[in-house]
Chain A
Amino acid sequence: MNSSIDNPLITRSENLERVINYNAKSEVSVKTKNSIKRSHRQIKTEVVFRRTLSVIGWLMIALVIGILLTLIWQSMPSIKKYGFSYVWTQVWNPTASVVNPEVFGALPFLFGTLLTSFLALLISIPFSLAVAIFLGEYYPEGWFSNLLMNTVELIASIPSVIYGFWGLAVIIPILGKSIMTSSLILAVMIIPYAASLGRSMIRMVPANLKEAAYSLGSTRYEVIRSVIIPYVKSGLFAGVLLSLGRALGETMAVTMVIGNNNSFPKSIFSTGNTLASMIALELPEATDDTHISALVELGLILFVVTVVINLIGRKIISRYSNV
């Protein structure tokens, strides 16, 4: 009854037994899910696999919480000693002497970070916007468009230290070490982030909207200005936020060309330091506990600022893709 009529090799129940490697009949007579689970390796593996996946999901949450707690815990000595004054103190002096006591204040670096990043952003926006419009609207397809896109993406893949080195060798002899120099280099580095996001957003603008404007006699520029840009406005903004997040945390290129001056920068052409460049400069050699914890606190500030900016950017993007 149970056997397959035209498979001479093997009966149906034998085949089933071979496939699942257990006697289905006898096992099912127990009729409890647990006994079946216990009896079979495949199913055990399935359960183990599912568990492993959830454990890894938990691991990600634990990792982020761990990072935050570690930063707070390691900067505790500095937080206890200086409290909030840390954020607005303008002096950073890790080597105590009779005249100058040991003191740590993050204000010059916080300001330096914001200044370099926003300056870089201002410089890069016209370029990234141009790439986004060119590749999103004027030449969305073809090998030429691909070539330009790949080249622009290549900008993001060149290591930071190489930008810094090049800046040191080529830009510094012309402009000197300054906040402006590091912003210029940063501007180049962050172009791809806003550009590629902007490009994909512009491509998503529905054709019928553009056609409606064209049918009313709009020129291409007018379509871009009054249909495309308003449509992708918040997406472009998100792209800019993501590049800002990049710029804030960028370390090596900035460290190498900003001049590494611990005092409050007087203008964009003076030397300075950023949160990231301070950590990169001083943490490798720091031995004093207060000094280390003050540096970690710089990292904590940097972490909080970049995370907030990135999350806002991602929130906007995800709202976009839901529409």
Chain B
Amino acid sequence: MTAKKNISSKIKFRIGISGFFKGLVILFAFSCVIPLLFILFYIIQAGASKIKWSFLIHDELSDSAGILHAILGSFEIVIFASLISIPIGILCGIFFSENKGSKFTYWSRLAVDILQGVPSVVVGVIAYAWLVRPFHQPSAIAGSIALAIMMLPIIIRSTEETLNLLPDSLREAGYALGLPFHRVVLKVIVPCGISGILSGVMLSIARVAGETAPLLFTAYGCTFLSNDITKPMETLPHLINKFATQGDPKVLDMAWGAALILLFWVLLLNIFTKLITRKWKVQL
């Protein structure tokens, strides 16, 4: 009788432990979300009052100081980075998925893996060494190159993974119709995997849109509207860093406004990525 009771109390204890553990897991898992909500809430609260039309259409030097130069600069630098990295990235992803198992692909893929792990500040140092030091001048194009290097591995990986998911029968259907290799790839394989490729592209843009470290000594930043990509250019993240560390309450306010806009933009890109994945998905 006591032995039986002993066993059942042991089982109860074990069940109790199991329940306790579950509670612990839920507690910890959900407390991850708290800082995120806290940050979102704080930035919206601090930045919302700053978002006015004049804030968005003037640069820093105007009487009613704004951040237009940083918004446009961010756009320009990211667009140039995309122009460089998207074609190279997609073609490289195609190369990996079409040449699985070769020795060369292995080394090249390893290079991309390494590239993915390189800290953003080191990428900045590289662009600095290649394009800023030789010309004795920070330039927007150096910033674009740095961001492009950071975008490459993301685009390559997502392209490769997407294309690897496509069945071989699709390729064979193309070849059997007498299509040459490039048409099989560009007209059959890529259109079928377009959702994955696009979402990789969007993801890479979202990832670099908020990068500051590689721009500190490449695009450097400036105080007025500039369209010359061989000259320094301001970007949103750089502007936030500049204003946030100055300590002047007036510019601190502008930093919150800029932070809200940057956050909004990055979140929008992320949501857009999710939507693309759903909308363009080809039913196989």
| B32 touching A49, Cβ below 8 Å | no
Cα–Cα, bound, A131→B31 (Å): 10
| A221 touching B262, Cβ below 8 Å | no
B1-54 CB contacts (< 8 Å) to partner A: 14-15, 17-18, 20-22, 24-33, 35-36, 38-39, 42-43, 46
List residues of chain A with CB within 8 A of the CB of B122: 67, 71, 249, 279, 299, 302-303, 306
List residues of chain A with CB within 8 A of the CB of B178: 19-20
Residue interface bits A216-230, CB-to-B below 8 A is 1, else 0: 000111101000000
Among A54, A57, A71, A126, the one with the most B-chain Cβ atoms within 10 Å of its Cβ is A57
| A95 interfacial contact with B, CB 8 Å | no
Q: How far is the CB of A39 from chain B (nearest CB, A)?
A: 14
| A109 interfacial contact with B, CB 8 Å | no
Q: How far is the CB of A144 from chain B (nearest CB, A)?
A: 11
B34-85 CB contacts (< 8 Å) to partner A: 35-36, 38-39, 42-43, 46
- Overall SS of chain B's interface: helix
| A134 touching B39, Cβ below 8 Å | no
Q: How far is the CB of B206 from chain A (nearest CB, A)?
A: 6
Chain B interface, number of residues (Cβ within 8 angstroms): 88
| B121 touching A130, Cβ below 8 Å | no
Q: Give the A-B pair count, Cβ closer than 8 A.
A: 253
Cα–Cα, bound, A249→B213 (Å): 10
Cα–Cα, bound, A50→B186 (Å): 12
| A111 interfacial contact with B, CB 8 Å | no
Instruction: Specify the chain A residue showing the minimal Cβ separation from B87.
Output: A56
| A74 touching B129, Cβ below 8 Å | yes
List residues of chain A with CB within 8 A of the CB of B42: 166, 169-170
Q: For chain A, give the interface size range.
A: 35 or more
| B180 interfacial contact with A, CB 8 Å | yes
Q: Given contacts A126-B28, A157-B270, A299-B122, is CB(A220)–CB(B18) below 8 Å? A: yes
Among A150, A164, A280, the one with the most B-chain Cβ atoms within 10 Å of its Cβ is A280
Cα–Cα, bound, A296→B118 (Å): 14
Q: Which of B100-108, B165-173, B192-200, B223-231 forms contacts with chain A? A: B100-108
Which listed residue, B35, B121, B156, touches A188 by the CB 8 Å rule? B35
Q: How far is the CB of B138 from chain A (nearest CB, A)?
A: 8
| B210 touching A159, Cβ below 8 Å | yes
Q: How far is the CB of B238 from chain A (nearest CB, A)?
A: 8
| A162 touching B88, Cβ below 8 Å | no
| B111 touching A64, Cβ below 8 Å | yes
| B29 touching A134, Cβ below 8 Å | yes
Q: Show 17 residue pairs from A and B whose CB-CB distance is below 8 angstroms, ordered by the A residue.
A: A45-B182, A53-B91, A56-B88, A57-B92, A64-B114, A133-B29, A135-B29, A150-B274, A155-B36, A161-B259, A162-B263, A163-B39, A219-B15, A219-B17, A249-B118, A283-B217, A296-B129
Question: Given A162-B43, A165-B259, A221-B20, 20 other A-B contacts at CB below 8 A?
Answer: A45-B182, A53-B95, A61-B108, A67-B122, A127-B29, A130-B32, A148-B33, A155-B35, A158-B266, A160-B210, A160-B212, A161-B210, A162-B39, A166-B43, A252-B213, A279-B121, A283-B125, A283-B217, A299-B121, A306-B122
